[in-house]
Amino acid sequence: MDNTTFKIKFNERYYSRSVINLRPYKSDKIPELDDMEEDDTVNIGDYVAVCDDCNDTRYASTFHVAKTLQITYEIYKVWYMSTIARRMQTAKWKFVYVERTGRLSNRVPTHINRLNARFTGKLYEENILMSNL
């Protein structure tokens, strides 16, 4: 099971449901939920929420979304993403590139060396706020 599914035991039967199936609970009995194990492991290709400086109290509630490209000795190389949406519900995330002028952009470069134009960073595990987005 992943983070969007769960099991409920009711009258000695197990029911598997997804978050999309949620409806108001109308029973008088309290359901027994199986313990869900949270998977905090980060693998290459996973999307993660990261903070650049976890000790910065001014920007404690801000984070970046990134894709994990490489993991070497507890150091994570990530490719940052951005959005222009004001609401998270409607956000469309795009990868960030560095243009030749040094400006950051969401436009995919047209030159042949576009893989080197990715806006990447190296982080430690403590900078990863949430994994498996």
Please state the separation of Cα 66 from the chain's center in Å: 7
Same-domain status, 61 and 17? no
- Tell me how crowded residue 69 is: count the other CB atoms within 10 A of its CB: 14
Closest CA to 70 of 129, 115, 3: 115
Same-domain status, 54 and 106? yes
Same-domain status, 62 and 114? yes
User: Domain range spanning residue 90?
Assistant: 47-130
Question: Which residues, 6+ apart, have CB-to-CB distance to 38 below 8 Å?
Answer: 3
Please state the separation of Cα 115 from the chain's center in Å: 22
What is the pLDDT at residue 33?
A: 65
Q: DSSP code of 118?
A: B
For residue 90, tell me if it sits in a domain.
Answer: yes
Same-domain status, 12 and 55? no
Q: Name the pTM for this structure.
A: 0.64
What is the pLDDT at residue 21?
A: 60
For residue 42, tell me if it sits in a domain.
Answer: no
For residue 83, tell me if it sits in a domain.
Answer: yes
What's the structural domain count of the chain?
2
Buried b (16+ CB within 10 A) or exposed e, 14-30: eeeeeeeeeeeeeeeee
Same-domain status, 30 and 59? no
* Residue 20 three-state SS: helix
For residue 122, tell me if it sits in a domain.
Answer: yes
What is the pLDDT at residue 101?
A: 84
Same-domain status, 64 and 7? no
The pLDDT tens digits along the chain (133 residues) read 556 677 777 777 777 766 666 667 677 877 666 665 666 778 888 888 888 776 766 665 677 788 888 888 888 888 888 888 888 778 888 888 888 888 888 888 877 777 788 888 888 888 787 777 6
What is the pLDDT at residue 75?
A: 87
Rounded to the nearest 5°, which phi and psi values hold at 2?
Answer: -105, -170
Same-domain status, 72 and 23? no
What is the pLDDT at residue 58?
A: 66
Please state the separation of Cα 90 from the chain's center in Å: 15
For residue 41, tell me if it sits in a domain.
Answer: no
For residue 21, tell me if it sits in a domain.
Answer: yes
Half-sphere exposure of 123 (CA within 13 A, CB side): 26
Same-domain status, 20 and 66? no
User: Is 130 within 8 Å of 49 (Cβ atoms)?
Assistant: yes
Rounded to the nearest 5°, which phi and psi values hold at 92?
Answer: -120, 115
Same-domain status, 106 and 66? yes
For residue 105, tell me if it sits in a domain.
Answer: yes
